[in-house]
């Protein structure tokens, strides 16, 4: 009698296991298809000037948009994560050195990556925040590309991306922003140029870079990665509603809040916000206060 019960329990567990495994393989195949599917987009013509003002603007944008946090200070790329669970995620060497962008990587290829989130062949770029870079004005996009195209070539061959089981599941349940190509409105035309006078409009344009963590409505929420602190509300309902513009700017330059809390750059990239110009931080403050 007892033996029979154990036999049924055992069979039941096996059936559950089989279902879970089957489910996982379906999810894995679906994610595999999504990451290897080829996309084609109409090429947009972009003017890439090479005067010194444009290069200086490009250099500033590369610093404040976090390109170097992922692609490295010299843009020669790096392995961002490598473990059995999440997998190996690698930011490309985007210089023209060994292991870098192909010799025939054209301005159109740059536009494809930054506007549409796919590589030269139309394969989706993983983790590259193209849903943000796609919103850069044509003028700023041209400046970023102009700057990147002339950085010194660095030889740095890197291994390929590969997703682990946790990476597959998190992607399936949309818990990590892996496939920006799926999040972009590919028909949205490029803004010609952004407002560069201090104020709410400029703040709104810049705040795109904060939306990935602080959420599109800037109300914050759950930690971006489990184990990190929750993401604070940046609207006037949060601390910013009580801070002066000076206190806000000081916080983003030093990582230390008016309450004396020193933020870790790994959680909140304040070494990036420290590089914003005064009028850019002032504009961000004015925009968040208007929400
Ligand atoms: C969150 C990390 C992250 C940030 C920030 C980031 N990138 Fe990337 N980027 C990646 C990763 C990862 C890849 C490789 C994706 C792949 O091959 O699947 C990539 C790929 C690229 C490529 C495509 C190379 C190719 O194969 O066609 C270019 C170009 C690029 N990034 C430029 C930039 C620029 C310029 C910025 C700043 C405006 C930037 N990236 C910001 C992570 C990032
Ligand atoms: C990679 C994710 C990430 C990005 C990108 C990011 N933040 Fe944060 N931010 C955080 C986290 C997490 C905290 C909380 C850190 C802590 O509690 O130590 C935070 C805290 C803050 C705070 C302190 C708020 C408070 O109430 O204490 C401000 C201000 C802030 N961020 C502004 C910005 C701005 C402006 C941008 C865009 C230019 C930005 N952040 C981009 C993750 C991010």
Beta carbons of 118 and 124 less than 8 angstroms apart: yes
d(CA 133, CA 180): 10
Atom from ligand 2 closest to the CA of residue 288: 35
The per-residue pLDDT for 176 is 82
Q: Is the CB of 273 under 6 A from ligand 2?
A: yes
Q: What one-character-per-residue DSSP string does 21-57 give?
A: HHHHHHHHHHHHHHHH-----PPPP-----SHHHHHH
Q: Is the CB of 224 under 6 A from ligand 2?
A: yes
Co-location of 172 and 90 in the same domain: yes
**155, 182, 209: which is the final residue of a domain?**
182
Q: Is the CB of 113 under 6 A from ligand 1?
A: yes
- Name the closest ligand to CA 159: 1
Listed in sequence order, the residues at least 6 apart from 58 whose beta carbon sits closer than 8 Å to its beta carbon are 143, 144, 145, 146, 147, 148
Co-location of 206 and 277 in the same domain: yes
Co-location of 69 and 122 in the same domain: yes
- Name the closest ligand to CA 89: 1
Average pLDDT estimate for 261-289 = 96
The per-residue pLDDT for 1 is 59
**129, 154, 182: which is the final residue of a domain?**
182
H-run or E-run covering 111: helix 107-111
Co-location of 178 and 226 in the same domain: no
Co-location of 218 and 271 in the same domain: yes
List alpha helices for 215-264, DSSP H.
245-254
Please indicate, yes or no, whether the overall pTM of this predicted structure exceeds 0.85. yes
- Name the closest ligand to CA 264: 2
Q: Is the CB of 241 under 6 A from ligand 2?
A: no
Residue 41, domain member (yes or no): no
Give the range of the structural domain holding residue 284, as residue numbers without chain letter: 200-289
Residue identifier of the C-alpha nearest atom 17 of ligand 2: 229
Q: What is the pLDDT of residues 203-250, one digit of tens each?
A: 999 999 999 999 999 999 999 877 889 999 999 999 999 999 999 999
| CA dihedral for 96, 99, 105, 107, sign (positive or negative) | negative
The per-residue pLDDT for 242 is 96
Q: What is the pLDDT of residues 80-131, one digit of tens each?
A: 999 988 999 999 999 999 999 999 999 999 999 999 999 999 999 999 999 9
Domain count, the chain: 2
Atom from ligand 2 closest to the CA of residue 261: 18
Q: What's the CATH code of the domain at 217? A: 1.10.760
Average pLDDT estimate for 269-277 = 96
């Amino acid at each position: 009698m007892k033996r029979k019960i154990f036999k049924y329990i055992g069979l039941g567990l096996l059936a559950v296991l089989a279902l879970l495994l089957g489910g996982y393989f379906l999810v894995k195949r679906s994610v595999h298809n999504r990451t290897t599917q080829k996309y084609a987009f109409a090429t947009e013509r972009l003017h890439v000037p090479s005067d010194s003002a444009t290069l200086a603007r490009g250099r500033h944008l590369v610093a404040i948009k976090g390109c170097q946090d992922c692609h490295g200070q010299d843009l020669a790329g790096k392995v961002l994560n490598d473990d059995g669970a999440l997998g190996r995620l690698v930011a490309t060497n985007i210089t023209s050195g060994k292991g870098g962008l192909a010799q025939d990587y054209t301005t159109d290829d740059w536009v494809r990556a930054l506007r549409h989130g796919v590589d030269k062949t139309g394969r989706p770029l993983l983790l590259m925040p193209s849903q943000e870079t796609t919103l850069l004005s044509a003028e700023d996009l041209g400046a970023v590309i102009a700057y990147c195209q002339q950085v010194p070539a660095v030889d740095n061959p890197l291994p390929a991306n590969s997703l682990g089981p946790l990476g597959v599941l998190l992607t399936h349940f949309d818990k990590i922003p892996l496939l920006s190509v799926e999040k972009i409105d590919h028909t949205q035309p490029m803004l010609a140029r952004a407002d560069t006078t201090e104020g709410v409009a400029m703040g709104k344009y810049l705040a795109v870079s904060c939306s990935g963590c602080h959420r599109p409505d800037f109300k914050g929420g759950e930690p971006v990665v489990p184990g990190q602190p929750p993401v604070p509300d940046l609207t006037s309902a949060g601390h910013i509603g009580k801070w002066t513009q000076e206190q806000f700017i000081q916080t983003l330059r030093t990582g230390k809040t008016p309450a004396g809390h020193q933020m870790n750059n790994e959680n909140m990239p304040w070494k990036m916000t420290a590089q914003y110009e005064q009028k850019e931080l002032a504009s961000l403050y004015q925009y968040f206060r208007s929400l």
